[in-house]
Amino acid sequence: MVPPSAILALPYPTVRLLPRAKPQAIRHGFPWVYANELVLDRRTKALTPGSFAVLEDPDRRPMGVVTVNPNSKIIARMMDADPSAVIDGAWIEARLRRALAHREALYDSPFYRLVHAEADGFPGVVIDRFGDLAVVQPNAAWSEAMIDSLVAALVAVTGVGSVIKNGSGRARRLEGLEEELVVAHGTAPVAPVPVRMNGATYMADVMGGQKTGLFFDQRPNHAFAAGLGKGGTVLDVFSHVGGFGLAALAGGATSALAVDGSAPALALAEAGAEAMGRGADFQARQGDAFAQMEALAGEGARFDLVICDPPAFAPSKTALEPGLRAYERVARLAAGLVKDGGYLMLCSCSHAADLSRFRSACTRGIGRAGRSGQIIYTGFAGPDHPMLPQLAESGYLKALAFRL
C-alpha cells in the first residue's frame, strides 16, 4: 500500500472513495466503483470520460489507477493496482502479450477470444481473433479514447493484418459512447471468414453479424452436444450461424434443423454446412423461435437432441423475473420436441440469472411439459473467456444438458 506521502509521485489526479464505501472489495480484486461510492466534487465531475486517476481510499491512501467516466453508473474501473502505473502503449502491449500467451497455450489455430474485458485486465474491452483479422469492441470510454494505441499494440503483438472496430451495443450506450463500425487497420474482408471449430466450419460475418460475428464462448458446449447428437437427429433453436447444429453434424449427427429469426444468420449456417460437405443434411427454418417450436410440436416432430441457445433474456436485475419466465417457456416448448431417452440442452448468457435460478427455471419448464429428466452436464464459457472471481458478470454463460 502506498502511503499518503507518496501522492506527489503519482502520475494522475486523484479521486476518493466515500467513507461508506468498502475499500476492501477493491483491494481484494473487485474492479468497479459505482457513482454512489465516490466523492463527486466539482473536480471529479469535470474529469474527461475515459481519463485516468489514482483512486484513494477514504483515508487518502492510494489504491491503484482507475479510468473514470463521470457519465456512467460505473464511474471508475480499476486499470492497475499499482498507483504509479502509466497507462500507455507499452502498458497495453504487455497485457496483450499476457493474454496472447494464454490463448496460444490453449489453441493450435488463431481463432479465439483474445481479450475478455476485466478478466484479462482490459476493462470494458473485448477482442476476438479470426486468424489474420481481429475485431475490437471498445465498450468503455478509456478504450474509445485510446483506440489508436490499442489497435497499434494489437497489430504489434499478434501481427494481424486487419482490425475491425465494432463500436455497437448496450454497453457502449451505458458509457455514453456513439455506435460506429469501421476498419481500424488494414482492409475489411470481402466475404464471411471461415472458422474451424470442433470439426465444423462456421462463417463469421465480422462486418454485419451479431457482436463480433461469431460466439467463441460456446466452443466446449458445442463439443459436448456433438457427442450427444452422434447418429441422431438434431434441432438447434436460436441457432445464429449454426453453432450447435453444425458441431453436431461434424460429430456424426444424421441431420440438423436450425431455427433462428435472422435470415442472414441462417444463410451463413447453410454456407457452413455446404463447406463441410453436409449441406444435404442441414435444413433451416426462419422465424420466431417460440412460434417455430410450437409449429414443430403441431407437426409431431421429435428429435434425438434439442438445443436452445437464446439471447440474454435477463441482461439486468430489473429484467430477471420476466427473463426467468422466458427461459421456463423455452424449456417447456423444447422438452416436448425431445424423443423419449433423448437429450435437451439449454443455455443462458444472462449474467443476472445465476446458475441456480436458471436451473430452476429450466426444471420447471421441463416439468410443465409433462417430462422429467436427469442433468448430465453443466457447462460454462471456454477458457478463452476467463472469469474474474470477484466479478460475477464475467461468468455469464451457463449450459445444462438433460436426458429426458
- Residues forming the active site: 349
Q: Are 15 and 55 in contact (CB under 8 A)?
A: yes
Residue pointed to by grid coordinates 464505501:
21
DSSP SS3 for 234: strand
Kindly give the residue spans of alpha helices, DSSP state H, lying in 232-284.
243-250, 263-275
d(CA 154, CA 136): 9
Q: Are 87 and 45 in contact (CB under 8 A)?
A: no
Helix 147-158 to helix 89-106 angle (10° resolution) is 40
d(CA 279, CA 163): 31
d(CA 67, CA 87): 10
CA-based end-to-end distance of the chain: 55
Check the CA dihedral 266-268-274-278 and report its sign.
negative
- Angstrom CA distances, 274 to 39, 264, 269, 279, 339, stand at 58, 15, 9, 4, 27
Q: Are 160 and 129 in contact (CB under 8 A)?
A: yes
d(CA 82, CA 63): 7
Residue pointed to by grid coordinates 465444423:
200
Residue type, 347: C
**Residues of 262-300 as b/e, b for ≥16 C-beta within 10 angstroms?**
beebbbbbbbbbebbebeebbebbeeebeebbeebeeee
d(CA 243, CA 272): 10
Q: Are 94 and 87 in contact (CB under 8 A)?
A: no
31: closest CA among 55, 14, 8?
55
d(CA 53, CA 13): 5
234: closest CA among 165, 337, 143?
337
